[in-house]
Amino acid sequence: MFLFNKTSKFPLGLIMVSFLLTACGESGSGSAQPEGDTAAPALTLEQQYTAERIYRNKRFPVNFVFPNIWNTSANGITKHAMTTDVSLFAKLLVIPVFELSTDNWQEAIAWSEEAAQKLPVYYGLVDLSENNMYFDLIRVNPDLPDVIYHSLIFKDSFIDRSGVDLDNPGPHMGYISLNSVGEEVIDSVVEHLFLSSPHNQYGYAVIEEGSEELAEEYRHTMIEAELVSGSGSCDTIRVFEVTHRISKITGEMTGETRDLYEFRAVVDADGNVRACARRI
């Protein structure tokens, strides 16, 4: 499994050299499986690291860059205004779900206000800011002054996501302005899309990420892990690869997901992460 450093197009090498750890048991020795359980092989180093990241809710690698608005505390809320938030698309029989975009401040404010009116708790507009990617409309509820709500509107001049139906995702992920295409920009776009996706929550983790520049495209790769299911006695953890490609010719961004492997793990009564066996 090869990954790439953000500042280099050359592979860093294998994530880890996998080998078996000593099986868990009292005093570090192996213990017999209870009758009715299949034998549980010890976790490899790579699996142990992945499971620890999942269970400890360590969702991001060290090279993940957070914009200031992405507050990981309970006092920050961040959401893109969507087509389903505004009446502009209400007459359509089927509403494609994608993030709204404009280069007009007044239109951004109007969409943000309409979306805010539909929230369970209304947050009034208190400040405005922007960067090359989006407008940030900062909102606060007077009854909850410590909670900051960032209502985001993508800029048309940066990215076009209108062909991306988030309810029916496909390989097409939008178009990025050719004036903006570059390795550092691609990293920030893909990371931002992860942060604003359902994967940015407990049960998911980006294990490793990186990018490379090829002759006709930029390629960004994330190795992610997902806590698929768990009964409390044995969980399944899925590891998969997400690849984004951005054409240097058209600016189109496409994405694909490829499963790598699954393994089973659990957090025991002492809080230790270990392998577990499937009940038979």
Do 73 and 162 sit in the same domain of this protein?
A: yes
Number of domains in the chain: 2
The residues, any chain, with a CB within 8 Å of residue 132's CB and separated by 6 or more, are 155, 158, 180
pLDDT at 16: 37
pLDDT at 180: 82
Do 123 and 37 sit in the same domain of this protein?
A: no
What would the pLDDT profile of 240-261 be if each residue is shown by its tens digit? 999 999 999 999 999 999 999 9
pLDDT beneath 50: ranges in the chain: 1-36, 280
**From CA 99, how far away is CA 122, in angstroms rounded?**
20
pLDDT at 93: 61
Domain that includes residue 154, residue range? 67-169
pLDDT at 97: 86
Which residue, of 169, 184, 213, is where some domain finishes?
169
Share of the chain above pLDDT 70, in %: 80
pLDDT at 9: 36
Enter the tokens of residue 27.
């005093």
**How much is the pTM?**
0.78
**From CA 63, how far away is CA 34, in angstroms rounded?**
42
pLDDT at 71: 64
Per-residue burial over 118-132, b = 16 or more CB atoms within 10 Å of its CB, e = otherwise: eeeeebeeeeeeeee
Q: Is residue 211 part of a domain?
A: yes
pLDDT at 92: 63
